[in-house]
Structure 1
């Protein structure tokens, strides 16, 4: 083959550059897709699993969190391309401290569905607190599940973690002062070390709603709903300005991780939401404002982690009429059980 002249070279390169452009735009879209939705099933009037998956797809929701390995849901997810966080209930943790039981769990709930179902994370327990009976079972269960995942050669595709809430961190004002409580430290530090060694993120449920309603005298509704017109809190460390409570709560978690020796550990926001009725400041208008602003905001990161999209899961897909206690817990749905949207939201 002879050398190409400038004209031939341009003609030769044009389709390659076009294909490269499509490839890079695909990467950009994938990176930008940071919002998923939690699919809770505590209701007696919810749609079929197949209808739920179709609702996710028709709304462009590419990520889902479920709280236990429901087989009809996993079957409905086959071929959907929806990325999944699959949970293990707290009352099942003790059983999984047995390695053989963990191997069976991974076989029945992961290997039997992979690769038709795109598992992303396994959440071993949800919001276990230092005084809970299950506290000693979380890490051994995580280790056994991770070993079973590695035996299946899936450790690079599926990461094993646990989901905590923000109450394990104290001194969160200003965010740079955040640290794990004394009671939480002995529980969470070995888990953090496990996550770092395995390249897995920490899952954190972040609820500005509860932080606001517990302290409305010091926290404004606008700060909680992302509607403040300017900086509300200035953190002397780095002179960081905070315009919303979500960022402040999340950066307090990052500060706690730094003090625990894990400055580079990533956080996935495994739940965040606002109820539409049943309690203080719970209204359709406030919930719509929160969800819309949260979706737009998490593309951009926090003052402590600017420019890094925050992988976030909205809570929740449906109102769940059997959640306890009654009240706000039953009104976090983005959709009614009839599959009608409560708010006009674009999931990106």
Structure 2
């Protein structure tokens, strides 16, 4: 499908078409009691030209619905499962048999995301940190043994791991996170995998609205905001991604590509969380990721928009329940 046809069918807008490759997918979360069935969701994605999806746990009904769909999948391992998968190779072998081998012939699973936003310096997830790398190693071994070694194994990281991110060239993982993330980066390099990053300009803006202007977060700044050597940054998304690239270089991960495993903007429930701002962010993001970043120009950046639907049972601040691109009745929000 032509690039812009796919993008704007997805956003529910009508625009001229331009041929090219699509770089955006969606995150399909299910922490809600009012969502369409998994087959209906897959059909929605097919109608809207969405051919990449991330799911956060291997629900059989979702994986069954994806059979033969042609949708390329990042399959998540929930944090609560990490200890079991790290404990013995047999646990990982069983997990891979049940959730990957069973579906691999007709579901395009290209990556396993082993844990989400685990951080040794975050009290909410620090208990899982010691299990991430062993679980990745065991799942990698199980995939190879099953003849599925082409499937990437990674973990989704947040900007919380960065001790420095300004200017982007000074991006570096914090001292408290290095002992956790450096061996993971070594694993990714050794296995020709990719670095998954969750990037949210929204949270950076509301955390420091004076210094992180709304226009900088929404891709609407009229000119360069941050000058960093040979590079100029007109939007915060680029700056955050390039800070990750700089941190990876300092940790031996120069060869790694980054895939944006989550990025989004809420339409309600918090400061700057409006329908207008969310529409502006998503629309500009979809356009922008085709161009790469100042540090990696002309290299389209695979990006998974968070999220397909509002999730009315998601914990946390009210804004967490308003990141959906579609209403539960499948009508586009924007």
SS in 2 for 1:203: strand
Per-residue deviation at 1:34? Answer: 1.1
Cross-structure match for 1:117? 107
Which of residues 204, 219, 224 in structure 2 aligns to 1:231? 224
CA deviation profile, 1:273-306 (whole Å, cap 9, x unmatched): 0000000000000000000000000001000000
Cross-structure match for 2:211? 218
Q: Distance in 1 between matches of 2:248 and 2:107?
A: 32
1:303 to 2:297 alignment: no
Per-residue deviation at 1:170? Answer: 2.1
Q: Distance in 1 between matches of 2:20 and 2:28?
A: 22
TM-score by structure 2 length?
A: 0.92
Cross-structure match for 1:17? none
TM-score by structure 1 length?
A: 0.88
SS in 1 for 2:156: strand
Cross-structure match for 1:333? 324
Per-residue deviation at 1:63? Answer: 0.4
Larger radius of gyration: 1
SS in 2 for 1:93: helix
Cross-structure match for 1:155? 149
1:99 to 2:89 alignment: yes
Per-residue deviation at 1:43? Answer: 0.3
Q: Distance in 2 between matches of 1:277 and 1:299?
A: 28
1:32 to 2:21 alignment: yes
Q: Distance in 1 between matches of 2:162 and 2:20?
A: 29
* Correspondence 1:8-23 to 2 at 5 A: none
Which of residues 274, 277, 291 in structure 2 aligns to 1:286? 277
In structure 2, relative to structure 1, the CA distance for the partners of 1:49 and 1:30 (3 Å cut) is farther
Per-residue deviation at 1:31? Answer: 7.3
Task: Identify unmatched segments of 5+ residues in structure 1.
Answer: 1-28, 344-348
CA deviation profile, 1:243-280 (whole Å, cap 9, x unmatched): 00000000000000011011121111000000000000
**Number of positions where the alignment pairs a residue of Structure 1 with one of Structure 2:** 312
Per-residue deviation at 1:30? Answer: 10
Q: Distance in 1 between matches of 2:20 and 2:295?
A: 20
Q: Distance in 2 between matches of 1:34 and 1:114?
A: 23
Per-residue deviation at 1:325? Answer: 1.7
Cross-structure match for 1:79? 68
Which of residues 292, 312, 320 in structure 1 aligns to 2:303? 312
Q: Distance in 1 between matches of 2:318 and 2:154?
A: 30
SS in 2 for 1:32: coil
CA deviation profile, 1:116-156 (whole Å, cap 9, x unmatched): 10001100000001141111100000000000111112112
